[in-house]
Amino acid sequence: MVLSLTAGTCYAGRMKDRHDVSEAQQLDPASRRLLERVEIEGIELVRFLYVDHGGVVRGKAAARGRLAERLGTGIGHTVAMMAMNMLDRLPAVPGMGPVGEVRLVPDPATFVPLPYAPGAAAMLADLRDLDGSPWAACPRSFLRDAVAALDAEGYALLVAFEPEFTLGRRLPGDPLDRLAPVDDSACYAATGFDTAHDYAMRLLRALESQGLRVEHYHPELGHGQQELSIRPAAPLRAADNHVLYRETVRGVALRMAMWASLAPKPVAGQPGNGAHLHLSLWDAEGGRNLLAGGDGELSDLGRHFVGGLIAHLPALVALTCGTVNSFRRLSPRSWSSAYACYGPDNREAAVRICSPLSPGSVNLELKPSDSSANPYLSLGAVIHAGLDGLRRRLDPGEPVDVDPDDLSETARARLGVHRLPATLDEALDALESDEFLMEALGPLRRTAYLAVKRSEAAAFAAQDEAFELFHHFRVF
């Protein structure tokens, strides 16, 4: 078997002659530097990570002695894993049965030693066919293609996830564990800084050491709830960063005998954990923010981009809020949004137009977004939706400057403001009827995504709330 990947990323295709030249000598300079780092830093295992359709971060690790070869060939993986749901159950998906193999091929540019797992490092991996081409269900390739479409039309996007999570301890329960928050501090309260201080410092250092630049940190509204945000980056980097962030939040907690969960609603009766998506649209050179009109208003392009988001929002939430548990969070008066509308600094609107910190710096905040989503699929779909708005010059309607839940039904109907889907099944129905997004996903990915998510909806519908909370804080 011979792999031939794109030039510059690997040496595969020359595996036949590896008897006379070592793998390391055949690698590109970036990969050779990576191998040197592995030696110098005493790394023994390198995790090749990807995110599946259930939103779960999974992977396989290469031992140091095999790394040079694995950088090129990747590690073999069954196609069936992209049909696995978050409960580790496998719905039937044509093309993802027990027969068939893909390769987890790591992106050397994402290599990071893991500060919470001494001796281990990680890379984000693509899923490739055996001939080296991107597999039709590879999530990173989906996002990469969306970015290429944006680029082809002369646009660039800057993205930041703004994740919240619950810090606590896992209490053995009968029959299921509970997540007990680490404190009961009030929102933004200084007490919360102290109760979570040791964890927050370790988390901050662990993130910074992986190249994630921390922007802000504060104790949030919920018991044990924390928010720590990362500086914006180009889309693929931002999604990779979000995967590393999720891993780090949990890894650091585990090393301190705690349990951290980014699940949308891991504790009954407590506020949810969002991962609001901040977006700004730029010209290709990155010199001009295209969302900014005069006086902090949206430009025409900005209105069209928002128009695309609003038009596709019912379907988008099936990808940005990807779990059954996500829909407990999307309720009125929780600043997570429950209606498809937009407004300047409106924390109850699905799209908040953030007031500029400096002239010309307008950015959008998509609130129906959480960390149980596959960030590559959610961000890729958001880009496609925005692009559709730009191409078709979609009009987002009037901005909403009140809590949409305070408006009468009639007033909402007049403004064209609709409730977001209230369940995962409703969101999946909307996705299935959104021809544009279904086309963007492509046949294999959309079939698998819908099957995985429908199977989760059915599995949790047959169980109670405690089961749902347990499995979501266990996995996310």
Binding status of residue 164 toward ligand GLU by CB under 6 A: yes
Nearer to ligand GLU, 91 or 168 (CB): 168
CB atoms within 10 A of CB 217: 15
* 91 part of the interface to ligand GLU, by CB under 6 A: no
Helices 197-209 and 235-255 cross at an angle (nearest 10°) of 140
Alpha carbons 291 and 281: distance in angstroms, whole number: 6
Binding segment toward ligand GLU, per CB under 6 A, in 333-341, 399-407, 414-422, 427-435: 333-341
CA 169, CA 183: separation in Å to the nearest integer?
A: 10
Given the DSSP bridges, would you call strands 363-366 and 275-283 parallel, antiparallel or unpaired? antiparallel
The residue (of 141 and 334) whose beta carbon lies closer to ligand GLU is 334
Residues near 74 by beta carbon (within 8 Å), at least 6 away in sequence: 3, 48, 103, 104, 105, 106, 125, 128
The CA distances from residue 456 to 164, 277, 425, 460, in Å, are: 23, 24, 10, 6
Q: Judged by CB under 5 A, does residue 227 bind Mg ion? A: yes
What track of x and - describes contact with ligand GLU for positions 272 through 311 (by CB under 6 A)?
x-x-------------------------------------
Q: Please pick, from the candidates 163, 271, 314, 421, the single residue that binds ligand GLU as defined by CB under 6 A.
A: 271
| Torsion, Cα of 447, 329, 49, 126 (10° steps) | 40
371: nearest Cα among 50, 55, 49: 55
Does the footprint of ligand GLU cover residue 335 (CB under 6 A)?
Answer: yes
**Rounded CA separation 300/207 (Å):** 37
- List the beta bridge partners of residue 261: 166
The count of chain residues that interact with Mg ion, using the rule CB under 5 A, is: 1
Residue 201 makes CB contacts below 8 A (sequence gap 6+) with none
Q: Does 370 bind Mg ion (CB under 5 A)?
A: no
Decide if residue 412 touches ligand GLU (CB under 6 A).
Answer: no
Q: Dihedral through CA 182, CA 188, CA 190, CA 196, nearest 10?
A: 30
Site of tokens 């540019």: 109
State the minimum distance, in angstroms, from the CB of residue 275 to ligand GLU: 8
271, interface contact from Mg ion, ligand GLU, none, CB < 5-8 Å by kind:
ligand GLU
Helix (H) or strand (E) holding 339: strand 339-344
Question: Pick from Mg ion, ligand GLU, none: which does 140 bind, CB < 5 to 8 A by kind?
Answer: none
- Which C-beta is closer to ligand GLU: that of 164 or that of 240? 164
CB of 447 to Mg ion, least distance (A): 35
Q: Which is nearer to ligand GLU, 71 or 349 (CB)?
A: 349
Q: Which does 302 bind (CB under 5 to 8 A by kind): Mg ion, ligand GLU, none?
A: none
Which DSSP symbol is given to 298?
B
Minimum CB distance to ligand GLU, residue 380 (Å): 21
| Min separation Cβ 147 and Mg ion, Å | 27
Residue 227 CB neighbour total at 10 angstroms: 19
Pick from 47, 70, 242, 367: which binds ligand GLU (CB under 6 A)? 367
Measured from the CB atom, the residue of 272 and 389 that comes closer to ligand GLU is 272
CB of 337 to Mg ion, least distance (A): 13
Query: Which of ligand GLU, Mg ion, none does residue 336 bind (CB under 5 to 8 Å by kind)?
Result: ligand GLU
Q: How far is the CB of 271 from ligand GLU (least distance, A)?
A: 5
Provide the Cα torsion 449, 450, 455, 457; round to 10°. Answer: 110
Residue 335 contact among Mg ion, ligand GLU, none, beta carbon within 5 to 8 Å by kind: ligand GLU
Residues that bind Mg ion in the complex, under the rule CB under 5 A: 227
Residues in contact with ligand GLU by the rule CB under 6 A = 164, 271-272, 274, 329, 334-336, 347, 367
